């Protein structure tokens, strides 16, 4: 229970259906509460991280979750995952240092909500972990095998951020609001008389106050954030940037140079601390390669038609995919029907067959495979 309307309604629906429900709030940090205090040996090297007031895990959110639990008359516990959450923040900073663009919300689901929290649930004898994600877990009509599907509300669909969930965890997941639109969820919150029925949705990354991720990276970077050259496609220096970590592939605003036409960040080289700019055409790629894959179906060794999403807020696009290698060495190769802009290393590519999530991986690079 994050203190938001979605997880609150999920708890209310389960309670109404007769389940024995225990509310759990993950304590990740709060304003004025330094994560580094729980990370021995790192406090002298890294600046404290303070969770923003508008995130999904602030002190106010904890109080909202507690009020909802009281209204539903269910037990409520706070679990201290600060140390584990530090791993997500470290990964976030390391990815930017490496010239990649991370998605910490996916990692939080993989490592905490459907990782560490599942372990906690087993310790207290719970049979499943429920959340307010807009996605669905349903059996395949033919085989009976559980599948992960997109949420009914396409504008709120969160199946992308759940792609890394281990397939054997689907039987332990409950997603009560995934089969309804957000408007219905808010109406239910009001019917259940929940105090959060009109609470705004959280938009920011919870550990990046004011959406200023560059300051966070600068305060904790082991590689250092320093000025470097901006070059054009020919390699000519056309300006200076404050640090490659300030930029992501496809970025157009605040690039720092003016050419009289739209200019985009088309590549980053962390080794030389160089940003390369170009036109939108320079951003287009026919495919990509991804690693650290996770699958809910047998990974396709031959080219398979499907739709893919290469960013959380992107629409799925037609493509072909295939997988090479075994185990941890598996590589997902994707060929888009039409070239896609801003294929950013560090983002996830998630593959769909209509509403069904097939699997996905973490983008290593764009490719010229056609």
Q: Which residues are catalytic?
A: 108, 206
Residue 112's φ and ψ, nearest 5 degrees, are: -110, -70
User: In the sheet where 228-231 sits, what is the strand order?
Assistant: 237-241, 228-231, 274-278, 264-269
Residue 59's φ and ψ, nearest 5 degrees, are: -60, -40
Phi-psi bin for 34: left (phi > 0), alpha (psi -120 to 50), beta? beta
> Alpha-carbon distance 246 to 239, whole Å?
15
DSSP calls for 219-284: HH-SS----EEEE-TT--EEEEES-GGG--TT--TT-S---SS--EEEEEETTTTEEEEE-GGGG-
Determine whether 73 is exposed, middle or buried from the number of CB atoms within 10 Å of its CB (0-12, 13-18, 19+).
exposed
């Amino acid at each position: 229970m994050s203190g938001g309307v979605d997880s609150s309604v999920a708890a209310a629906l389960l309670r109404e259906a007769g389940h024995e429900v225990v509310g759990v709030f993950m304590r990740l940090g709060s304003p004025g509460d330094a994560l580094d205090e729980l990370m021995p040996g790192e406090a002298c090297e890294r600046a404290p991280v303070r969770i923003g007031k508008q995130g999904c895990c602030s002190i106010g959110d904890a109080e909202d979750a507690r009020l909802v639990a009281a209204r539903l008359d269910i037990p409520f516990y706070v679990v201290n995952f600060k140390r584990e959450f530090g791993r997500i923040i470290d990964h976030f900073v390391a990815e930017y240092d490496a010239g990649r663009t991370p998605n910490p919300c996916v990692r939080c689901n993989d490592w905490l909500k459907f990782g560490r929290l599942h372990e906690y649930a087993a310790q207290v004898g719970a049979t499943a972990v429920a959340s307010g994600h807009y996605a669905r877990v349903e059996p395949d009509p033919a085989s009976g095998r559980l599948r992960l599907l997109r949420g009914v509300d396409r504008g709120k669909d969160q199946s992308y951020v759940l792609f890394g969930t281990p397939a054997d965890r689907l039987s332990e997941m409950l997603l009560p609001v995934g089969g309804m639109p957000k408007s219905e969820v808010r109406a239910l919150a009001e019917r259940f008389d929940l105090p959060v029925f009109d609470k705004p949705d959280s938009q920011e990354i919870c550990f990046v106050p004011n959406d200023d991720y560059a300051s966070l990276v600068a305060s904790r970077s082991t590689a250092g954030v320093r000025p470097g050259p901006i070059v054009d496609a020919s390699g000519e220096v056309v300006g200076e940037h404050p640090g490659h970590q300030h930029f992501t592939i496809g970025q157009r605003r605040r690039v720092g140079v003016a050419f009289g036409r739209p200019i985009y960040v088309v590549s980053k080289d962390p080794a030389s601390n160089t940003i390369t700019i170009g036109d939108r055409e320079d951003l287009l790629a026919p495919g990509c390669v991804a690693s650290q894959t996770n699958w809910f179906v047998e990974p396709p060794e031959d080219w398979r038609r499907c739709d893919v999403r290469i960013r959380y807020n992107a629409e799925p696009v037609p493509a072909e995919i295939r997988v090479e290698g075994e185990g941890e060495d598996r590589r997902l190769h994707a060929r888009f029907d039409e070239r896609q802009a801003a294929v950013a290393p560090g983002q996830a590519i998630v593959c769909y067959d209509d509403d069904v999530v097939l699997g996905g991986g973490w983008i290593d690079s764009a490719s010229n495979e056609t």
